[in-house]
Structure 1
Amino acid sequence: MSIPHLFRCPISLDIFTDPVTLCTGQTYDRPCIERWLAAGHRTCPVTMQPLGDAALVPNRTLRHLIERWLSADQQVPEPTAAADDDGDAEEEPSLAALKRCLQSGAGAGANAKVAALKKVATLASESDVGRACMLQLEFLPVLLQLVFHPPAPWDLSEQEELALQCALSLLPASPTSPQHDCLNMLKTEASLASFVRLLGRGRARVRAGLCRLLEVIATAATTRELALAAAASPRVWQALLPLLQHGDGRVSGAAARAVAAVCCADEPARGGAVDHGAVPALLKCLSWASAGGCCGAATVSSALAALEALAASEAGRRAVAHEPGAVRALVRHVFMMSSSNEGSEHAAAALLAVCRESRAARSEAAGAGVVTQVLLLLQSQCGTRAKAKARSLLKLFKSM
């Protein structure tokens, strides 16, 4: 499929997913120009003119033209070999035809839907253009409807699991993408109940996928209300927190990232996490990892990032300070000889926040050897932020 030149972002050269225009009159895909501006650039990438105003104005006309072009039954951009039941080659269906197949009712053949989902999965993994086209054609809400529907299943069928994996592959990387709005379908009681049930009882791959979905919900701009609802739900925490010690590293890692994303969202979300036992669960995860659990360094780092976020709130600091062994665990993770120390900056930041306000926590940290740990960290190849936190910790304990 040949994409018209005007439908391509001049930065990524891919089809626009969310075209926005700068004050210079140049149009870019929102995720691309946001990355450009976030990197500190204050010029237009094409014209190199200084930007007196960095406002991004949606280009609705161009978006409408792209949607009309896409709706004209475009063929799949990168066809793969396909065969019917008799083994004869058949013509690759258009994107619109694939979408119609997925939207067909319960009476439609399950085999046809599975075949369509496999084509979608292949296209999403092999073609950025195909992925962008499917986003524009609103495949994402269709896929989510295939996963979260009443009655809530105890586990997903092959069709539903494929739909979940396809949906995850289509999720936009930018947290400001308007495409995330379709995730708000989980606000309904039936959909949320299905999500919680699958999170608590689904197969490992499904659980990891749902944790990834929760991570996106917690960080996306258009799903803030849903993120707060999830953070306030005891059922979500009851299903999520045990996954921090799941035997499959993919699940425990995804769970740790999801918890960290929710805790980093905002104050009400942190309050919900504290109220529903996130602090002891995260500390158990760290203890489990130290005892040889199957989670990796990235999982430990995510768990420490969640504790740092929780320590930014008064309730979180109290919870950490009062949890038996919490301060010693943070001291231990400030510097660990046997690890890459990925989470050192988070451990140091959480410890600094707790110890500043709690004399008892300072005394416990001193007894656990925090000064030695901080000095070892300062001598290591840690990052700038970790060193800054370490110096602040050292200053705090020198003043004791």
Structure 2
Amino acid sequence: MVKDDLHTTVPTYFRCPISLEVMEFPVSLCTGVTYDRGSIQRWLDAGNNTCPATMQQLHTKELVPNHTLRRLIKIWSESVPTRPVKSAPSPQSLSRDQAEQIILQLEIDLKMIHSTPFPPFYTIGHNLSVLISFVNEGCDNRKVVTDAGGRLLPLLVSLIGKKQSLSDLCLLEKIVLFCNVIFKNRVKTDSELGIDNAKFPGIEMGMYDYKTIILTCLKQGRFELRIAAVEFLELMVKHLGSQMQQSSLIPEDDEMYFELLRLIVSSNRNSNALEASLNLLSRMVVFKKNRSKMVRVGGVKALTKALSEPELSPPLTEKVLKLLEIASSCREGRDEICGNELCVQAILKKVLKVSDAATELAVTLLWSLCCFSGDKRVAALVAESSGVAKILLLMQSNFSPNVRHMCGDLLKMLRFNSKGSCLSCYDTKTCHIMPF
């Protein structure tokens, strides 16, 4: 029996190098390393052609059952109930010293990745999982890990940036999640200490290209990894963008926009997925050249779908409306919105229904489409629905003078285009409100 750093009496050669759990169906690769069948099969199915433990190229992907080891594990497992076994402590039971030892070992392993033919990737993955769980258990635990963030983050960020170093999506997910934990909790800790901006020295952004690795996460990763990858990139831009141009941090080709919009469409009301995608898109379309790209790959349709969700929270509703407003600032965006009846109706429904900020954004959008662009299709949709009544109510409300002024312009535009319709005599439920 081998007693490891986490005080477990499970023999190390009974554990799968990938999952670190006791193997149920041990199988061996041509490299001689044994894994649990389920873990190694997922690795191979993801398109990998290397041995996870040694990173050697596989000349064959044949999995050979290790019957001898399976019998040994069975004998050992049957004997466990008859003898005391110390299991690995849960994150809650880790002491500060134990956590610091794991952090130190993680730092050593990360530094030796490029200097050894057999990088300890599975040990890195296990320690990252333990620390992610540990940091979420309380403020004291958070401080232990975030204090070490200054040393760990540059190593992890560089590992992600050197895309040739990582082919295991499971490990990549743990690295990205841990980086996000450090970013978020370091900022939270500094905020509690009265520090305005969290500093992350030692991260040289200019020498890395994140496009390939982020797109790999978005295309091939499971749903949680896709969300984590988007959060990672957004946090990088947010906290490190001052070190260099934000535009150089974000992949700006159509492929990136397509994957972000695909995450929105496939989010299935997952607020984390929506928020991560909307936040990153908002940073990308700050640059005018990017707005038409978002529209070209289906941005208006994806945002319309999100805006039409009945349980969309007020903050997310405001983010979607803001993105649509930005999209309407380019010709392609205005044409797409004006030609999308569902989009116009979804915008109109948010007036006076969500929040003051959402109402102001929706009115600004309608004004831009009807008055600034003079699109009669939008004016007709507003006139045919409850838009007139809402505009009349807004003109008598406590909204800003700018909102009331835009409502006045909208009402003039609608009356001008109505040509004898009921609008000309204000035949609405708010007919007692005089617009002029």
Q: TM-score when scaled to structure 2?
A: 0.57
1:169 Cα deviation from its structure 2 partner: 2.9
Which one-letter code corresponds to 1:251 in the other structure? A
2:297 match = 276
Query: Is the 1:243–1:252 contact (alpha carbons within 8 Å) kept by the matching residues of 2?
Result: yes
Which one-letter code corresponds to 2:123 in the other structure? N
Q: Deviations over 1:19-48 (max 9, x none)?
A: xxxxxxxxxxxxxxxxxxxxxxxxxxxxxx
Q: Structure 2 vs 1, CA of residues 324 and 218 (structure 1 numbering), >3 Å: closer, same or farther?
A: farther
1:198 Cα deviation from its structure 2 partner: 0.9
1:183 and 1:319 mapped to 2: Cα distance?
A: 40
Q: Secondary structure at the match of 2:164?
A: coil
Check if 1:262 corresponds to 2:284.
yes
Which one-letter code corresponds to 1:348 in the other structure? V
Query: Is the 2:303–2:324 contact (alpha carbons within 8 Å) kept by the matching residues of 1?
Result: yes
Q: Structure 2 vs 1, CA of residues 229 and 299 (structure 1 numbering), >3 Å: closer, same or farther?
A: same
Which has the higher mean CA deviation after the structures are superposed, 311-320 or 233-242? Answer: 311-320
1:206 and 1:281 mapped to 2: Cα distance?
A: 21
Q: Deviations over 1:89-127 (max 9, x none)?
A: 858439666533433325336336533663476458625
| Number of aligned residue pairs | 305
1:320-359 matches, cutoff 5 A? 320-336=337-353, 339=354, 343-355=358-370, 356-359=372-375
1:180 and 1:335 mapped to 2: Cα distance?
A: 46
1:224 Cα deviation from its structure 2 partner: 6.5
What percentage of residue pairs aligned between the two structures are identical?
17
1:195 Cα deviation from its structure 2 partner: 0.6
2:183 and 2:244 mapped to 1: Cα distance?
A: 19
Which one-letter code corresponds to 2:366 in the other structure? L
Q: Structure 2 vs 1, CA of residues 175 and 192 (structure 1 numbering), >3 Å: closer, same or farther?
A: farther
Which one-letter code corresponds to 1:208 in the other structure? I
**Residue 175 of structure 2, aligned match among 160, 164, 176:** 160
Q: Deviations over 1:298-323 (max 9, x none)?
A: 33322112112222334433332233
Which one-letter code corresponds to 2:127 in the other structure? A
Q: Secondary structure at the match of 2:329?
A: coil
Check if 1:140 corresponds to 2:137.
no
Q: Secondary structure at the match of 1:343?
A: helix
1:223 and 1:331 mapped to 2: Cα distance?
A: 41
Check if 1:237 corresponds to 2:263.
no
Query: Is the 2:180–2:231 contact (alpha carbons within 8 Å) kept by the matching residues of 1?
Result: no
**Residue 393 of structure 1, aligned match among 402, 407, 427:** 407
Q: Secondary structure at the match of 2:119?
A: coil
Query: Is the 1:260–1:306 contact (alpha carbons within 8 Å) kept by the matching residues of 2?
Result: yes
Q: Structure 2 vs 1, CA of residues 334 and 90 (structure 1 numbering), >3 Å: closer, same or farther?
A: closer
**Residue 285 of structure 1, aligned match among 294, 306, 311:** 306
2:228 match = 209
1:291-306 matches, cutoff 5 A? 295-306=312-323
1:83-232 matches, cutoff 5 A? 92-93=100-101, 98-105=106-113, 106-108=118-120, 110-111=122-123, 114-115=126-127, 118-119=130-131, 122=134, 126-127=139-140, 130=144, 133-135=147-149, 137-148=150-161, 149-150=163-164, 153=167, 155-157=169-171, 159-160=174-175, 162-169=177-184, 172=187, 179=200, 182=203, 184=205, 188=209, 191-217=210-236, 219=238, 221-222=241-242, 225-227=245-247, 230=250, 232=252
Q: Structure 2 vs 1, CA of residues 176 and 366 (structure 1 numbering), >3 Å: closer, same or farther?
A: farther
Q: Structure 2 vs 1, CA of residues 369 and 163 (structure 1 numbering), >3 Å: closer, same or farther?
A: same
2:8 match = none
Q: Structure 2 vs 1, CA of residues 209 and 330 (structure 1 numbering), >3 Å: closer, same or farther?
A: same
1:162 Cα deviation from its structure 2 partner: 4.5
1:254 Cα deviation from its structure 2 partner: 2.3
Which one-letter code corresponds to 2:306 in the other structure? C
For structure 1, the residue ranges without an aligned partner over 5 or more in a row are 1-78, 84-88
Q: CA RMSD in A?
A: 4.0
Q: TM-score when scaled to structure 1?
A: 0.61
Q: Structure 2 vs 1, CA of residues 257 and 344 (structure 1 numbering), >3 Å: closer, same or farther?
A: farther
Q: Secondary structure at the match of 2:169?
A: coil
Which one-letter code corresponds to 1:93 in the other structure? Q
1:1-40 matches, cutoff 5 A? none
Which one-letter code corresponds to 1:320 in the other structure? I
Flag the structure with more relative contact order, 1 or 2, with Cα contacts below 8 A and sequence separation at least 6.
1
Q: Deviations over 1:150-201 (max 9, x none)?
A: 265473336435434434435647997663994836952xx31121121233
Q: Secondary structure at the match of 2:94?
A: coil
Which one-letter code corresponds to 2:217 in the other structure? L
Q: Structure 2 vs 1, CA of residues 94 and 240 (structure 1 numbering), >3 Å: closer, same or farther?
A: closer
Which has the higher mean CA deviation after the structures are superposed, 113-122 or 319-328? Answer: 113-122
Query: Is the 1:241–1:281 contact (alpha carbons within 8 Å) kept by the matching residues of 2?
Result: yes
